[in-house]
Structure 1
Amino acid sequence: MKSSLPLTEQDLSDFATALEETNKDFDALRQRYEEVRDAFSQRSQTQATITQGHLPKAELKRLKKQIETLEATLENQLMSWNNLKDPFWQVLRFVGLGLVLGWFLRGWFGA
């Protein structure tokens, strides 16, 4: 079956570029996932060390500081602007489209 719109060299080039960008984004996502997984693991190990026994106050203070740092790392990884940028703009776009459509329908039907 022949397509009504033939592919051009530019179409293939654009697809290759989009595929490469997707691959880079996936690699970045995989790296963030591994960082978050490692931080969870370190936090669990540190909490286990704290609850296991009697530690000197200096060691206990150091471990609690390490947990705070790991939790900050986890929060930064999970709630960065890069992670929220695309969903934010999609929500804004569709909410805006819904408002415009609503105003149009209201004006059209005179409700």
Structure 2
Amino acid sequence: MPHSSEEDDQQWETRLKQVEETLLNLRRRYSQIQRDRAKKEELEAKLQRLQSEIESLEFELESRLVSWKDLAEPFWLAVRFGGLGIIIGWFLRAWTDSN
């Protein structure tokens, strides 16, 4: 039994609509992929800027934590008491050598 022309036309219309819907879905997915790629590149660039900023801040904080003002007092205390210890040592050695 051959198919009628109307049935063939209707099948073609149905298949054509399916193909059009599939193509439309593919275009939507492709557009989403393009947007996602652009977003990924944008986020990666932002991440690199943030990492660079973090490194800069870490360096700045470390340089502020260790400053000459922080080290000056312990340095001069060590020089003062170390020097005083040497002088006392010389004095005691000279005193013991004379006895």
TM-score, normalised via structure 2 length: 0.52
Report 1:1-111 matches (<5 A).
Answer: 56-110=43-97
Superposition deviation, residue 73 in structure 1: 1.6
Aligned residue in 1 for 2:7: none
Question: How far is 1:104 from its partner?
Answer: 1.0
Q: Note the alpha carbon deviations across 1:47-73, whole angstroms, 9 max, x for none.
A: xxxxxxx77221111111111111112
Q: Unaligned regions of 5+ residues in structure 2, if any? A: 1-39
Alpha-carbon distance in structure 1 between the residues aligned to 2:72 and 2:53: 29
- In 2: Cα distance, 1:62 partner to 1:90 partner: 43
Q: Give the aligned CA root-mean-square deviation in angstroms.
A: 2.1
Q: Which sections of structure 1, spanning at least 5 residues, go unmatched?
A: 1-53
User: Greater Rg, structure 1 or structure 2?
Assistant: 2
Write out the 4+ residue segments of structure 1 that deviate beyond 3 Å after TM superposition.
Answer: none
**What is the percentage of aligned positions where both structures have the same residue?**
49
Higher RCO (CA-CA < 8 Å; seq separation 6+): 1
Deviation at 1:83, TM superposition (A): 1.3
In structure 2, how many angstroms separate the alpha carbons of the residues matched to 1:82 and 1:92? 16
Whole-angstrom CA distance in 1 between matches of 2:79 and 2:45: 49
Q: Distance in 1 between matches of 2:77 and 2:44?
A: 50
Code of the residue aligned with 1:92 in structure 2: it is: V
Q: Given residue 80 of structure 2, which amino acid in structure 1 is its aligned partner?
A: R
